[in-house]
Amino acid sequence: MATNETIYRGSPHLNLGTQNYYQINNKVITSNVATISTSVVHNITSAGTLAVIQGVDSTIDGTHIVATIPTLALDVPGPGSNTFTYSTTAGNVSTAAVSPTGQLIWSSYYAGGTVTNIAVVNYIGTVTTGAAHGLVVGDIIGVETKLNLTLGARVLTVPTSTTFTYESTTQTVANSATTGAWTKIPPVYVAPANASKKINNIVVANKAPIIGSYSIYIGGYPLAENTSIAGGTTQYIDLEQVIFNGEKLIVCASNNDIKFHIAGENV
């Protein structure tokens, strides 16, 4: 008799790869660009890195995609930078110290690049990237610009090496130049070659006091796309779906307090 076992458990943005933790001591948002400062060099090296911010405030906290890494501030010793930016739809916030200090968590497991142009028509977005993106149809990505945020969407087409289309959570964005970044969401589980795994059920729990959203993709197809989940609530999905031979299970969420417990069995 098959035994139900845990396939994946935890927050997808916090337990993939080696995590790096840094204190945040300053924040500012100017013209839809947030600049975050850390107390020491944060060691982020590339746009597209996923940055989880917590303990700052309701405007800043959440999961963001690093867009730029400005030059090192003069008062911070050593090589590297102690600031990074992300694009946001939020309004201006005057520069202010963060007290007590907030926390930045990032992992090099996430990779991506910059966005230079975006257009969205009937929830289908077209992105132009600052360099060749290397994406293929079916990849799951996040896009964060001054005009919209979509975390967890399928790549629909790849017209060129620097453009791709995706399923946007925003209905319409006029074709325009913008700043921002994209990231590729990695799988939390890959079915072994020549083997099958049945996913029996998924539990999604939002431990935060505020509303959040999550996406789940199995074998390249959406089980949930940017699904809302109220703060302090749990949702149960009775699934019984088989994945096999390298198919991927991908989950992502709007904040690190949304936890997943995915159970299944060998078949």
Query: Does the structure show a pLDDT above 90 at 78?
Result: no
The one-character DSSP state at 84 is: E
pTM: 0.88
Alpha-carbon distance values, 110 to 13, 40, 46 (Å)? 9, 22, 10
Provide the pLDDT confidence category of residue 70 given band limits of 50, 70 and 90.
Answer: confident
Residue 180, Cβ density class (10 Å: 0-12 exposed, 13-18 middle, ≥19 buried): buried
pLDDT at 217: 94
Of 247, 248, 196, 206, the residue nearest 227 (C-alpha): 206
CA pair distance 106, 95, nearest whole angstrom: 23
Q: Over the stretch 153-166, which tens digit does the pLDDT of each residue have?
A: 999 999 999 999 99
Q: Over the stretch 118-145, which tens digit does the pLDDT of each residue have?
A: 999 999 999 999 999 999 999 999 999 9
Instruction: Indicate the fold that domain 114-184 takes in CATH.
Output: Elongation Factor Tu (Ef-tu); domain 3 (2.40.30)
Q: Over the stretch 5-48, which tens digit does the pLDDT of each residue have?
A: 999 999 888 777 778 999 999 999 999 999 999 999 999 988 99
CA pair distance 53, 99, nearest whole angstrom: 14
CA pair distance 218, 210, nearest whole angstrom: 27
Of 188, 19, 4, the residue nearest 104 (C-alpha): 19
Query: Does the structure show a pLDDT above 70 at 148?
Result: yes
Q: Contact 266/1 with Cβ under 8 angstroms? A: no
Peptide bond into 77 cis (omega under 30): no
The arithmetic mean of pLDDT across residues 219-245, rounded, is 91
Query: Does the structure show a pLDDT above 60 at 256?
Result: yes
The arithmetic mean of pLDDT across residues 209-231, rounded, is 91
Residue ranges per domain, the chain? 5-11+187-266, 20-106, 114-184
The reply to whether domains 5-11+187-266 and 114-184 share a CATH topology is no
Q: Contact 186/226 with Cβ under 8 angstroms? A: no
Residue type, 243: I
User: What six digits make up the tokens of 215?
Assistant: 């996406």
Instruction: Indicate the fold that domain 5-11+187-266 takes in CATH.
Output: Jelly Rolls (2.60.120)
Residue 52, Cβ density class (10 Å: 0-12 exposed, 13-18 middle, ≥19 buried): buried
Select the CATH number that applies to the domain covering 20-106 from these four: 2.160.10.10, 3.90.180.10, 2.40.30.20, 3.40.50.720: 2.40.30.20
